[in-house]
Amino acid sequence: RKEVEQDPGPFNVPEGATVAFNCTYSNSASQSFFWYRQDCRKEPKLLMSVYSSGNEDGRFTAQLNRASQYISLLIRDSKLSDSATYLCVVNGGSSNTGKLIFGQGTTLQVKP
Amino acid sequence: EAQVTQNPRYLITVTGKKLTVTCSQNMNHEYMSWYRQDPGLGLRQIYYSMNVEVTDKGDVPEGYKVSRKEKRNFPLILESPSPNQTSLYFCASSLSGWGFLDSPLHFGNGTRLTVT
């Protein structure tokens, strides 16, 4: 089993749609969780950190479920500019400080 | 401007010819790391450094070396490159490697390496 797993997609959605991505992780000791965005083989950029209580940033909402070991990202009112690959990132846990594990990414295509 | 700078952006080389990819950051970050990205495999960590003179293996360290003699630089060395090291490489830095929640990763622009 991969340490961090994502559905690679692609997810093809019309503008204005709501889309949700899930990501599962295997190390129960992981403490830090993030969503990064990557455009067409450019460098990844932080979209948002994921806090235990869940957090929202505009149209984006991230949730953490420790019991089931998954995190989610919800995008409301999708824009064409949201088309990108979304990377789930998890730290390696207290015994692996400094290690960050990336999922393979979920590709989103927003169509007009 | 705060940034992570990698050089070169593109490199084509032959098997066995030693090469170095440089990485430099101007943000006084303690933590630096190297990743490679391959289709279907995502980003995989090669080596990371929590601070000067401290380096640790990531998930795929074989065939690579690093050094951290000063805070700003973290070069990636391929002593004898092979075709399976053809990949897109990213260097990244963070204020701290302890948790990352308050100190997200900043990535360089990437180095596309081809080994023939």
- Dump pLDDT digits (tens) for A34-64: 999 999 879 999 999 998 888 999 999 999 9
The answer to whether A64 faces chain B, any CB pair under 8 Å, is no
For residue A19, pLDDT beyond 90:
yes
For residue B99, pLDDT beyond 80:
no
User: Average pLDDT, stretch B48-62?
Assistant: 94
- What's the pLDDT band for A95 if we cut at 50, 70, 90? low
User: Residue A96's pLDDT is what?
Assistant: 58
Whether the link from the prior residue into A10 is cis, omega within 30° of 0, is yes
Instruction: Yes or no: say if A6 and A66 are a contact pair by the CB < 8 Å rule.
Output: no
The answer to whether B104 faces chain A, any CB pair under 8 Å, is yes
Residue A41 in tokens: 């083989």
Question: Which of residues A97 and B110 earns the better pLDDT score?
Answer: B110
The span from the CA of B30 to the CA of B34, in Å, is 14
For residue B64, pLDDT beyond 80:
yes
For residue A33, pLDDT beyond 80:
yes
Provide the percentage of residues in chain B whose pLDDT is more than 90: 84
User: Residue A53's pLDDT is what?
Assistant: 85
* Residue A95 three-state SS: helix
Provide the percentage of residues in chain A whose pLDDT is more than 70: 96
Question: Which of residues B96 and A77 earns the better pLDDT score?
Answer: A77
User: Residue B97's pLDDT is what?
Assistant: 77
* CB nearest B42 (choices: A34, A46, A102): A102
CB atoms within 10 A of CB A55: 14
Average pLDDT, chain B: 94
Q: Which residues of B touch A106 (CB under 8 A)?
A: none
* CB nearest A43 (choices: B48, B90, B100): B90
Long-range contacts from B9-13, C-beta under 8 angstroms, 24+ separation:
B9/B109, B9/B110, B9/B111, B9/B112, B10/B111, B10/B112, B11/B111, B11/B112, B11/B113, B11/B114, B12/B113, B12/B114, B12/B116, B13/B81, B13/B113, B13/B114, B13/B115, B13/B116
Amino acid letter at B56? D
Instruction: Yes or no: say if B78 and B11 are a contact pair by the CB < 8 Å rule.
Output: no
